[in-house]
Amino acid sequence: MSQFKTPVAVPLAPALPRKKQGVSPCAACEVRHLAVCSALETDDLEELDSILTHKGLSAGDTLFDEGEPATHVYNLTTGCLKLYKLLPDGRRQVTGFLFAGDFVGLANSEDYIYSAEAVSDVNLCSFEKHKIDKLMNSHLSLEKRLLGMARFELAEAQEQILLLGRKTAKERIASFILMLSERAQRRGEPDNPVEFPMNRNDIGDYLGLTTETVSRTITRLRKSGAISLDSDRSIVINERDNLVDIAEGF
Amino acid sequence: MSQFKTPVAVPLAPALPRKKQGVSPCAACEVRHLAVCSALETDDLEELDSILTHKGLSAGDTLFDEGEPATHVYNLTTGCLKLYKLLPDGRRQVTGFLFAGDFVGLANSEDYIYSAEAVSDVNLCSFEKHKIDKLMNSHLSLEKRLLGMARFELAEAQEQILLLGRKTAKERIASFILMLSERAQRRGEPDNPVEFPMNRNDIGDYLGLTTETVSRTITRLRKSGAISLDSDRSIVINERDNLVDIAEGF
DNA sequence: CGATACATTGAGGTTTATCAATTTGTGTGG
DNA sequence: CCACACAAATTGATAAACCTCAATGTATCG
């Protein structure tokens, strides 16, 4: 699956020579304000840095598979990752797309409950779970931050349940475009046009649709004027209010 | 909607005269081992008891509506509650059924993100949110417990996403019957026959199906021999392994 | 420039929804 | 205890949304 466009993705915050410096690489991290790591004071970041390793994945690479022992948690610093579950006959449900600043592994207990694969080239901070657990005991703000993130993800999961249980294909696609737009904005990136790192098949597996239905539905939204396509992977929102109405089922 | 079979549900742990006794009513709570409250030592239960009030609802009563300020969290001690979201045209998605020991309000932040309605007569322990927050600061075990519960609920939400996105009606019904069975067992109740407090319409709104499809699918499972019906609200699992295979898509 | 993967479009089929009628179950009042 | 009224569940006929299978178009990369 791996495409190896670039042999290995370049870490955002490369592992510096571990001299005893006063400054942790984490202090310079561009996505810290988005990530778990924002829970820690600058003073504590050296400690955080001492327990993490950087990891790069090329598009298509697998980070871990459902059912493996969940030894690590990760923080995504660049790129896009997809999480998915499989049924025995190969039906696939993408349970989430993760972007810079997102945390991987919140829901996992003993074993990973989903597989994780790089959609684009990706950089991660990797933490051994037992080390994070230990850090949590001494830094309560970290635990609070994780609880906050879990609550947020729970709310998002329930939106997705509403989407999958009761929305039409058109409503699902509109919701998806808006979600990607809003998440890009939260990361401080432009919210329009919306950039799609994933292909139509992944979108379908996320929205409970087939590739063909995704394609046809995007075409219909395009012909209605609500959106335009810069390219397959870049959608311009022409009528945001209209798209919001469609997404919410008005 | 309210049926008032019994005028008001009777609290499991009735509010005793608040004399300075050594023993908290919480200490005698039958569902404590299932609930958030299990995070606290017996010594701390008096403190917990001092910030809670008991609340009873009749079947059909509303606990709160989506969009209201989220002032309280609750712990269900008896009965069954459903959580749901609505689309503007009335389409409804039940996001969860809650039973004795379950916690209500984990995902909510400022406002409730779903409505909550009693499926059967229900008893609850009600906590003002700011008081629970304060208690969390002094009792870290409570925070850990909430994080653990949030992680568990996240894992369950992802199972539900797989179900709604990729499973057939037959697979959904089989999964649902097994889920109710397993949850009854966790509460220390018989896991067979499976008791259904909710009607076919609620089941449909939970599984992303219509009443009619729920009914037809149950009929087909019955005719195949996998299950039998004691009554509408009580299903006997005849072939559990078979049902598991169906639920998982084999 | 050709190979390959991805996206789009079309024709037809399947599952599930919708609409309507009937049956079953439950509680109430005589 | 029975008859009635009402709600819920089931069953049937038909329709719609989406899926499947197949072909064609398009972009990308060596």
* pLDDT, tens digit, 9 for 90 and up, residues A28-85: 999 999 999 999 998 888 888 999 999 999 999 999 999 999 999 999 999 999 999 9
Distance CA A179, CA B165 (A): 18
Give the CB-side neighbour count of residue B133, counting CA atoms within 13 A.
Answer: 10
Contact criterion met (CB < 8 Å) for A151 and B249: no
Which segments of chain A have a pLDDT < 50? Answer: 1-8, 10-20
DSSP states of A173-215 as a string?
A: HHHHHHHHHHHHHHTTS--SSEE--S-HHHHHHHHT--HHHHH
CA distances from residue B59 to A149, B146, B164, B243, B247 in whole angstroms, order as listed:
34, 28, 27, 30, 30
The predicted pLDDT at position A180 comes to 98
Residues in chain B where the model's pLDDT stays below 70: 1-22
A154 touches chain B (CB under 8 A): yes
**CB of B90 less than 8 A from some CB of A:** no
Report how far apart, in Å, the C-alpha atoms of B105 and of each of B30, B62, B64, B111 are.
21, 14, 11, 10
Q: How far is the CA of A59 from the C1' of C8 (A)?
A: 24
Give the number of A-B residue pairs with CB atoms closer than 8 Å.
121
Task: Give the per-residue pLDDT at B1.
Answer: 37
pLDDT digits (tens, 9 = 90+) for B21-60: 557 889 999 999 999 999 999 888 888 899 999 999 999 9
Phi, psi of A180 (to 5 degrees): -65, -40
Please give the CATH superfamily to which domain A25-155 belongs: Jelly Rolls (2.60.120.10)
How many Cα atoms sit within 13 Å of A232 on the Cβ side?
10
Q: What pLDDT sits at residue A21?
A: 53
pLDDT of the residue at A145: 93
Cα A51 to the center of its chain, rounded Å: 22
| Fold exhibited by the domain A167-248 | Arc Repressor Mutant, subunit A (1.10.10)
Yes or no: domain B25-156 corresponds to CATH 2.60.120.10: yes
User: What's the pLDDT at A22?
Assistant: 57
Sequence-separated (6 or more) residues with CB below 8 Å from residue B200 = B211, B214, B215, B232
For residue B140, the chain A residues in CB contact (below 8 A) are 140, 143
Q: CB distance from B106 to chain A under 8 Å?
A: yes
Distances (CA, A) of B217 to A65, A162, B189, B212: 33, 22, 26, 8
CB contact set of B105 (below 8 Å; sequence gap of 6+): B70, B72, B73, B74, B112, B129
Query: In strand C, which positions have an atom below 7 A from any protein CB?
Result: 6-11, 15-20, 25-27
Residue A64 to residue A70: CA distance in whole angstroms: 9
Is the CB atom of residue A168 positioned under 7 angstroms from any atom of strand D?
A: yes
The distance in angstroms from the start CA to the end CA of chain A is: 40
Burial B175-191 (b: 16+ CB within 10 A, else e): bbbbbbbebbeeeeeeb
**Residue spans per domain, chain B:** 25-156, 167-248
